[in-house]
Amino acid sequence: MTFATSGEVLMAETLFFNALRAAIDEEMARDDAVFVLGEDVGHYGGSYKVTKDLYKKYGELRVLDTPIAENSFTGLAVGAAMTGLRPIIEGMNMGFLLLAFNQIANNAGMLRYTSGGNFKIPMVIRGPGGVGRQLGAEHSQRLEAYFQAVPGLKIVACSTPYNGKGLLKAAIRDDNPVLFFEHVLLYNLKEDLPDQEYVLPLDKAEVVREGEDVTILTYSRMRHHVTQAVKSLEKEGFDPEVIDLISLKPLDFETIGASIRKTHRVILVEECMKTGGIGAEVTASINDRFFDELDAPVLRLSSQDIPTPYNGTLESLTIVQPQQIAEGVKKMLALQI
Active site residues: 70, 139
Q: Is 70 exposed, middle or buried (0-12, 13-18, 19+ CB in 10 A)?
A: buried
Strand (E) or helix (H) holding 266: strand 266-273
Residue 149 makes CB contacts below 8 A (sequence gap 6+) with none
What are 179's strand-pairing partners?
125, 155
C-beta separation of 259 from 215 below 8 A: yes
DSSP assignment of 215-229: EEEE-TTHHHHHHHH
Radius of gyration (C-alpha) of the chain in whole angstroms: 20
Q: Measured between alpha carbons, how far is residue 220 from residues 116, 140, 245, 246 in Å? A: 34, 14, 9, 7
Residue 177 exposed, middle or buried by CB count within 10 Å (0-12, 13-18, 19+): buried
Cross-strand pairs, 14? 191
Per the DSSP assignment, residues forming a β-bridge with 50 are: none
DSSP secondary-structure letter at 307? P
Indicate the pairing of strand 247-249 with strand 154-157. Answer: antiparallel
| Nearest Cα to Cα of residue 175 among 110, 122, 211 | 122
Please check whether residue 203 is in contact with residue 151, taking contact to mean a CB–CB distance below 8 angstroms: no
Q: How far apart are CA 22 and CA 130, in angstroms?
A: 23
How far apart are the C-alpha atoms of 238 and 114, rounded to whole Å? 50
The number of CA neighbours under 13 Å toward the Cβ of 333 is 18
Helix or strand (DSSP H, E) at 325: helix 322-334
